[in-house]
Amino acid sequence: CQNPEMQLVAPELMFIEEKCIQCGACIAACPNKANSFCDGKVVTDWEKCTLHGDCVEACCTKARSIVGEYKFVQELLDLVLADEVFFISSGGGVTLSGGDPTVHQDFIREVLKRLKELNIHTAIETSGYCASDLFQALFPYTDLFLYDIKQTDNAKHKEYTGVSNKLILKNLKLLAQENKNVIIRIPLIPGYNDDEENMRKTALLASQAHASEVHILPFHQIGAPKWKNTGKHYQLEDLKPSDEETINKCADIIREYGHVVNIGGSGA
């Protein structure tokens, strides 16, 4: 949610209006005429943008950039291993995040495999919404699964996310059967999944998965500007962040089931 620029599987344009000085260079540079002046500001017609990149090169204030890059496996490993001394000395490793990294199945499986060959601890953050056979193919190379449970009620899950949670729960069972290390993460969205019934059902799922911890990730608006900057409609722009009383109540419910609870997901 905080990285909407990772929702597509291809690079895209980001335009930070606050950096724009209305010089018009991007208007002249765009071969598709996607940029224009409107009410004294430069605006972008996102449907016309084909990522030609000329506007990015023409922008002297770096208000425009292309986010997302194509990398070969070895290129990514070279970037990761440049920091090896830091995560090895801290007892850490490499976490693949996103978006959901399982979208890039073949790529991440090879990355994880190569990291394990180097004896580097591996983790992925995932919603679990992935074909089960492909998901299981990651098991031998993944030490830790940071696994989102957004809503236990299937009808509500489909209403809020657009998909059923049946595959997600099936893959969670597969993790439990293989005794994989799992941390359940709950993106806590006010009015959507912060009720007592959902917390109790999530706690039970965590028990069944033998989860080592449960992380509660309270909703925030830190990533909101990125939605505007990438030309996307943000449905939750008026939603207020979770209040402390609700967060603590949810944490207490999860603790009733014997789980170690972390609020914020930054550590035990």
SS (H, E, C) 112-155: HHHHHHCCCEEEEEECCCCCHHHHHCCHHHCCEEEEECCCCCHH
Measuring CA to CA, which residue among 108, 257, 111 is closest to residue 184?
A: 257
**179: three-class secondary structure by DSSP:** coil
The pLDDT assigned to 268 comes to 46
Q: Answer whether residue 209 shows pLDDT above 70.
A: yes
The pLDDT assigned to 266 comes to 67
Confidence band for 7, pLDDT divided at 50, 70 and 90? confident
Strand partners, 181: 144
Mean pLDDT, residues 71-77 taken together: 96
Q: Answer whether residue 3 shows pLDDT above 60.
A: yes
The pLDDT assigned to 5 comes to 86
Distance of CA 261 to the CA centre of its chain: 21
Mean pLDDT, residues 184-209 taken together: 97
**Percent of the chain's residues with pLDDT above 90:** 88
Mean pLDDT, residues 80-101 taken together: 90
Q: Answer whether residue 31 shows pLDDT above 90.
A: yes
pTM, rounded to two decimals: 0.91
Measuring CA to CA, which residue among 259, 98, 91, 104 is closest to residue 182?
A: 259
Q: How far apart are CA 74 and CA 249, in angstroms?
A: 46
Residues 6+ positions from 180 with CB-CB distance below 8 Å: 139, 142, 145
Q: Answer whether residue 265 shows pLDDT above 80.
A: no
- Give residue 96's identity as a one-letter amino acid code: L
| Per-residue pLDDT tens over the stretch 34-68 | 999 999 899 999 999 999 899 999 999 999 999 99
Residues 6+ positions from 255 with CB-CB distance below 8 Å: 261
Q: How far apart are CA 108 and CA 70, in angstroms?
A: 13
Q: How far apart are CA 124 and CA 116, in angstroms?
A: 13
